[in-house]
Amino acid sequence: MTKKNLSERLAAGPVIGDGSMALTLEKRGYCTAGPWTPEAVVMYPEAVRQLLREYVRAGADVIQTPCFYSSDKKLKRGKVTYTAAEINDAACKIAKEVASEGDDVLICGGISPVESFVDGKGRDVVRKEFENQIEVFIKHDVDFLLAEYFGYIEELEICMDVVKKAGKMAACSMRIGPRGDLSGVSVEDCAVRMAKTGALMIGTNCQFDTNAQLKTLRRIKDALAKENLSPYLMCQPPGYLCPEVECTLTGQRHLPEAPILLETRILTRFEAHQFARSAYELGVRYIGGCCSTEPHHIRAFAQELAPEKKKSPPAEDMCPAFGALLVDSDIPVIRKRNTKEYWYSVKPGSGRPYNSPLVNVQAD
């Protein structure tokens, strides 16, 4: 059976992406906090393989090549130095292997921002770095390309020009919140410029939480409608709540807990359900996750949108939505907690007695 491509799937209904790699691998002991580079694909491939398998079992229709921040300058910061080509090649092989084990899973080649842009090295140097990232994806014939986590629309436009010449179906996303990109370009202008790159799908990812991203996506949608532009919308939020940072340009990095003390802010699976529904009703058709979005979050996205997808995630056999199998518990009070209505009525505690629910954050 021939796999439906990304365009066909988006036209048919929602598509579920995978989740966090770097932050989740760091928690498991396979990635260095700070550089966040993906040497694990060479040094600890089974750990990477297992995490991707968990996303597929959770219901991901797409897995990204696990090579975020794979650029030569970034990789030189690590204890063991590999080239971007070596990392991307290993990442493609792992992704292809895991995708082959799943049910009709697509592979997305993930393209990251490069330091040569912010260092002012010039367009030719920047283009060459993007060409180096993409070359391996073309060799491995991934299903589509995603330029993600871009903070500057200008850099993203350079990247997408290179992507366009590769002849692959493509998407792009930015780590923007309500204040726009890092150079002050508004959300609306970023939206229009992203769409004019010719990307099939555009949107937001990381840095700002689910609530902030919904606000930003609503503005993106309105800006596109005014210009009669109609790419599909995508969203890959982080897996924690950080309302304090909506006023900033760079989002969660302002939190005193960032990046390795964010556990008390983790999104619950039921908040993930509610986000997936809100995003879908807004018009978002590709929903995945970024930093700290774990397999159970992706499962919640897939379970929530199962009616629209006409397909439940593989993990439904063991973990049906809203704890339906709690009815089999031998503890009477737990047996009663097996409904959506119960879990949506719960207001979870922070788990940290006497701690402030919010922290002071200064804007950029």
Structural domain spans, the chain = 6-322
Which residues on neighbouring strands pair with residue 202, listed in sequence order? Answer: 172, 233
Residues annotated within the binding site are: 206, 290-291
In this predicted structure, what is the pLDDT of residue 1?
59
Degrees (nearest 5) of the Cα angle 313, 318, 319?
Answer: 65
Q: Compute how many other C-beta atoms are within 10 angstroms of the C-beta atom of residue 228.
A: 6
SS (H, E, C) the chain: CCCCCHHHHHHHCCEECCCCCHHHHHHHCCCCCCCCCCCHHHHCHHHHHHHHHHHHHHCCCEEECCCCCCCHHHHCCCCCCCCHHHHHHHHHHHHHHHHHHCCCCEEEEEECCCHHHHCCCCHHHHHHHHHHHHHHHHHCCCCEEEEEEECCHHHHHHHHHHHHHHCCCEEEEECCECCECCCCCCHHHHHHHHHCCCCCEEEEECCCCHHHHHHHHHHHHHHHHHCCCCCEEEEECCCECCHHHHHCCCHHHHCCCCCCCCHHHECCHHHHHHHHHHHHHHCEEEECCCCCCCHHHHHHHHHHCHHHHCCCCHHHHCCCHHHHHHHHCCCHHHHCCCCHHHHHHCCCCCCCCCCCCCCCCCCC
- The reply to whether CATH 3.20.20.330 applies to domain 6-322 is yes
The series of mean pLDDT values per 10 residues for the chain, 364 residues long, is: 91 98 97 94 97 98 96 76 93 98 94 95 96 96 98 98 96 97 98 98 98 98 98 98 94 94 95 98 98 98 98 96 96 96 93 85 77
The structure tokens listed for 160 are 């997408």
The reported pTM is 0.96
In this predicted structure, what is the pLDDT of residue 312?
96
- Cβ pair 17, 287 in contact under 8 A: yes
- Cβ pair 106, 64 in contact under 8 A: no
Residue 133 CA, chain-centre distance (Å), reads 19
In this predicted structure, what is the pLDDT of residue 74?
84
Residues annotated within the binding site for Zn(2+) are: 206, 290-291
Residue 330 CA, chain-centre distance (Å), reads 38
